[in-house]
Chains A and B, each alone.
Chain A
């Protein structure tokens, strides 16, 4: 008898130990995958936050710029900078032939003209003088400098020529190549040229879409939840609605994209590729998430609070608005933020409504064409050029950072509320 009991005890201990081991290994696996993922993203992405500049001496020759004596600000703006820009690049190798001059020109981005112009506009006294100007290196040289480009490939398989590499190495030797923080990654819109591509247009597109989504989904969802939870009679019909809201939450997002395409664009003729349409489409997706969160937190309000208010002579409406809804707000808000975070990461429906178009302007309102961060990731991941590889990872980092901040915010709201009254 006693022995039997001991055996049972041992068995139980062993089972408990085993169970704990399973749990720990599951957590370990999850953490491992997460670490690998984050490591991969960071190791490919961090270099996108650096940008390579060539420091090139530019002579601001008034004649070449077609400038009169004592030019006004307007004259400076209208001046021709292309020739001095070309000349500065060509001067890097005094013995270059015409082909080589062309190759020299392609060592910097096609913004070089603009960058030289900005320099002069900042300091008009430079006319007639020579100054070292920072020019954005072409994406291929950028990659070479970051060590992401294999130099030992045969020349015809490379996008940088031997000649360009020779000149570049000379510049490096002279200390005329510098790597600096890549501010333009955040301030430039998308571009076909990797060295000039930034996330400003997709970032603003995401912000506008999320705002539109919030402004539509939040009020509708909260009203629906309050009505269903507090006022609607409990019968077959409301059960049916409840089941369908839960179903709606499970509908694949691409279906909402088709809905946006078929109704918002085709029937209502709303402008294509805009955050307005994107936001409305996303709000359809977010709606059930917020309704479910709001109903759950309304349910969690103790009935004794409602009874107390009713017994004080508050009407149903007053009870709901003065007590139940304010108490449910933290839960509703954190559910809303989580719903918005999901919407922020959504790609498929946005592609369907045309937010995948190439946009090289920064949207100023929800009615301007825009991309969004996840779609930007998709667009860049599709690009063949090497310069976009690091941009994809960098964009993922920005998106993840955004999501983490939102989730943190949701946590804080929930936490603060729990601390306050109990």
Chain B
């Protein structure tokens, strides 16, 4: 099943074009990895999917991005509702400078998802459990989220993202600030999460892309060079550039 369907997406930062005619389909309940050398536009594309580029004054997005039969670039699309459905985890862990509990409860609160304190407690607990953080923090829910280790903070951010039960989770290099053990924990988590969510992950690590993803898209200089199943991209890529990149000859 196709969850997200992007058609002829062009992105400009001022006069400079950052993405050229991107056509990429994202499969539901699978992990799609976006790879490519630095500055090729992976983050830019990811941010198109929840309209985070709106925040940047000079950024303009053209083309269609269709999620659930609905073009999110259409004027009638409400970004607040969209971002409730499409969560995001950033490269650097960015918990709110509030307690662990408040970090998780923020989304459900603003979207009116809990009627009572009990319900909220339950959302917090299940989100933390899904993010494999519950055991570590259950005794310190009311301590600052910023007091956690980097890996724990990133899992807290993932828990925060899934607290509003999004259909899609966007992850922009979620492990780049983490050590191998924390990275392994997050990769395991991603595998778990794909049962309920569609996941798109930007990564610089070929190994990580190969481990966690079912589909891969390779970007280069703002163009989507090649995409398909991860197996195929890594074992026999069609494009010479893809081959060079995944074998580490440039990038």
Q: Which residues of A contact B (CB under 8 A)?
A: 233-234, 302, 304-315, 318, 322-323, 327, 420-422
Contact = CB atoms under 8 A, between A and B. Distances in A.
A358 B160 CA distance: 64
Contacts of A315: 80
B52 A311 contact: yes
B96 A422 contact: no
B52 A327 contact: no
B146 A310 contact: no
Contacts of A310: 52, 55, 83
B190 interface: no
B229 interface: no
Given A311-B83, A422-B97, 19 more contacts: A304-B90, A304-B92, A304-B94, A305-B97, A306-B55, A307-B52, A308-B157, A308-B160, A310-B52, A313-B80, A313-B81, A313-B164, A314-B110, A322-B106, A420-B144, A421-B97, A421-B144, A421-B146, A422-B146
A294 B100 CA distance: 27
A420 B157 CA distance: 20
Interface string B84-116: 100110101011110000000011001100000
B176 to A, nearest CB: 14
B50 interface: yes
B57 interface: yes
A20 to B, nearest CB: 38
B160 A312 contact: yes
Interface residues on chain B, size class? 20 to 34
A421 B160 CA distance: 19
10 contacts: A233-B57, A304-B90, A307-B52, A308-B90, A308-B157, A310-B52, A311-B52, A311-B87, A311-B90, A314-B80
B94 A312 contact: no
B94 A305 contact: yes
Contacts of A422: 97, 146
A315 B84 CA distance: 11
Contact of B94 (A308, A313, A322, A327): A308
Contacts, number: 65
Given A234-B57, A304-B90, A327-B97, A312 B110 contact: yes
Identify the 4 closest CB pairs spanning chains A and B, nearest first. Answer: A304-B94, A313-B83, A421-B97, A311-B88
A310 B56 CA distance: 12
Nearest to B51: A310
B20 to A, nearest CB: 25
A246 B144 CA distance: 37
Given A312-B164, A313-B110, A305 B90 contact: no
B167 to A, nearest CB: 13
Contact of A312 (B57, B81, B83, B144): B83
Contacts of A421: 97, 144, 146
A232 to B, nearest CB: 11
A284 B228 CA distance: 64
Nearest to B57: A234
Contacts of A306: 55
Contacts of A322: 106, 110
B105 to A, nearest CB: 11
A273 to B, nearest CB: 47
B45 to A, nearest CB: 16
A189 to B, nearest CB: 49
A6 to B, nearest CB: 45
A318 B111 CA distance: 11
Contacts of A308: 90, 94-96, 157, 160
Contacts of A313: 80-84, 107, 110-111, 164
B55 A307 contact: yes
Contacts of A304: 90, 92, 94
A315 B54 CA distance: 12
Nearest to B170: A311
A420 B81 CA distance: 33
B149 to A, nearest CB: 14
Contacts of B57: 233-234
Contacts of B52: 307, 310-311
Nearest to A417: B97
Contacts of B84: 313
A310 B84 CA distance: 10
B179 to A, nearest CB: 21
Contacts of B83: 310-313
A305 B111 CA distance: 18
B72 to A, nearest CB: 13
Most buried by B among A312, A318, A421: A312
A197 B144 CA distance: 54
Nearest to A327: B97
Contacts of A314: 80, 106, 110
A420 B144 CA distance: 9
A394 to B, nearest CB: 45
A323 B92 CA distance: 18
